[in-house]
Amino acid sequence: MQRLISNYIDNKRDYAIRLVRKLVRIPTVNPPGENYEELVGALDAELRRIGLATRKIETPKPVLEKNNITGGSRRINLIADWDNAGPKTLHINGHYDVVPVTGKWRFPPFAAIVKNDRIYGRGAEDMKGTITAFLLAVRALVALKLKPKVNVQLSFCPDEEIGGMTGFGWLVKAGKIKADFGMTEGLGYDCASCGNKGILWARIHCFGKTAHGSLPYKGINSFNGMLACCEELKSLDKRISRRRTRFRMQNDADRHPTMVLGGEIDGGKKANVIPDKTQFSIDRRLIPEETLVLARREIMDAIKRCSRRHRKYRFKLEITAQDGPVFVDPGEKICRAVGDAIEKIMKKKARIYLMPGGTDIRYLIKKGIPSVGYSARGIGRWHSTDEFICVKSILDAAKVYALTIMTIL
């Protein structure tokens, strides 16, 4: 069976290139969320050609409003079902939005140029190449008349790049999917992911008193208050960085919690005016051994210490986003199935890691659905200028997906 699948997929190299190029050439940039309808139309047509039943589910307007989505395309989720009369369902998810183009590119970011086995373009690696891989896997099994024991459901969703709450997150919460096992975006080649760190995004507001720059003693400079608060938080960062998760990670340095200050900074209106309001952001990443309650309390305690030492300033903590760490036991059936498929295709022992960044896998795991992150990531470049994916990575990932579908039960 493995040789039959591999031969079929290897002979579909041109198909894989055509499909990735078609998807990349539809610029689904988010924010604001462009050309979603066109992209969903292209995927829907491809799924129907394979022979799968499809349906489109639009994220309701109240959900968009709650998450401050006011522009861009309609948020359309596409679901495809392959019913094999099995007792359980494997759900495979992909997101079709891409991050904005930044920096200087050698090739036009949406031209999908092919050079030396690489397809260049925004979204090629994250994650239109992976979408192509699992579509090719299903196409191979259907064409070869290999009937899995498991039902297969595919979903293609928007807005992962802005948190997923108006895409896959809503789809899962609303009970629109079937899943006993799940696969979503994750690591690639001989690595899969069993979860990801948690995230706490916050904004700290520092208030002072305005005055003219020539008479600074009449004001209270909120910028200086911000600096004092940052010093307290830097001390906290030093303490939490000593913690270490028991989970394996692809880069050993990622086994520690992290906290980034100042990704966003705002305050002050004019060079000769004392700023009465200054604010800055916090990006706190949590290991599985930590909780959101702990992370919030530690930040709040740091602010209180700063307030006691610098009583002339007033501080306010605003939580802008939060999601706890999620993980499954690497010994779960889905992890073993993906690991075995990786070993057979890559001829290397599979490695199961926790991911430092967040993906839509968290929505399945929080529902108690054992899930793995896996992507067509071999040699590639992600979220950068000249983003690319190797064609071989797509073909190999398709084989891993196909074997997992055939062996999960």
Confidence of residue 379 (pLDDT cuts 50, 70, 90): low
So what's the pLDDT on residue 12?
A: 98
Given a cut of 80, is residue 378 above it in pLDDT? no
- The DSSP secondary structure of 141-199, one letter per residue, reads HHHTT---SSEEEEEEES-GGGTSTTTHHHHHHTT----SEEEEEEEETTEEEEEE-EE
Same structural domain, 71 and 152:
yes
So what's the pLDDT on residue 270?
A: 94
CATH number for the domain that contains residue 163 = 3.40.630.10
Rounded Cα distance between 25 and 39, Å, is: 9
Rounded Cα distance between 301 and 372, Å, is: 36
Same structural domain, 263 and 399:
no
Same structural domain, 144 and 272:
no
CATH number for the domain that contains residue 286 = 3.30.70.360
Same structural domain, 152 and 271:
no
So what's the pLDDT on residue 380?
A: 60
Query: Average pLDDT, stretch 369-395?
Result: 88
Boundary residue ending a domain (280, 307, 323): 323
Query: Average pLDDT, stretch 99-122?
Result: 95
Same structural domain, 142 and 64:
yes
Query: Average pLDDT, stretch 93-106?
Result: 95
Q: Is the peptide bond before 406 cis (omega within 30 degrees of 0)?
A: no
Rounded Cα distance between 319 and 210, Å, is: 26
Over residues 19-51, the pLDDT tens digits come to: 999 999 999 999 999 999 999 999 999 999 999
Q: Which of 180, 230, 113 is nearest to 364 (CA)?
A: 180
Over residues 268-301, the pLDDT tens digits come to: 999 999 999 999 999 999 999 999 999 999 999 9
Q: CA–CA distance from 283 to each of 34, 259, 264, 362, 385 (Å)? A: 27, 6, 10, 18, 23
Boundary residue ending a domain (323, 353, 381): 323
Same structural domain, 274 and 165:
no
Same structural domain, 221 and 351:
no
Confidence of residue 227 (pLDDT cuts 50, 70, 90): very high
Confidence of residue 383 (pLDDT cuts 50, 70, 90): confident
Percent over 90 (pLDDT), the chain: 96
Same structural domain, 259 and 369:
no
If one counts the domains in the chain, the total is 2
Residue ranges making up the domain that contains 184: 2-196+325-407
The residue type found at 304 is: K
Same structural domain, 231 and 148:
no
So what's the pLDDT on residue 340?
A: 97
Rounded Cα distance between 109 and 387, Å, is: 8
Boundary residue ending a domain (323, 338, 355): 323
Same structural domain, 151 and 273:
no
Confidence of residue 149 (pLDDT cuts 50, 70, 90): very high
Average pLDDT of every residue of the chain: 96
Same structural domain, 397 and 273:
no
Rounded Cα distance between 190 and 349, Å, is: 7
Same structural domain, 35 and 160:
yes
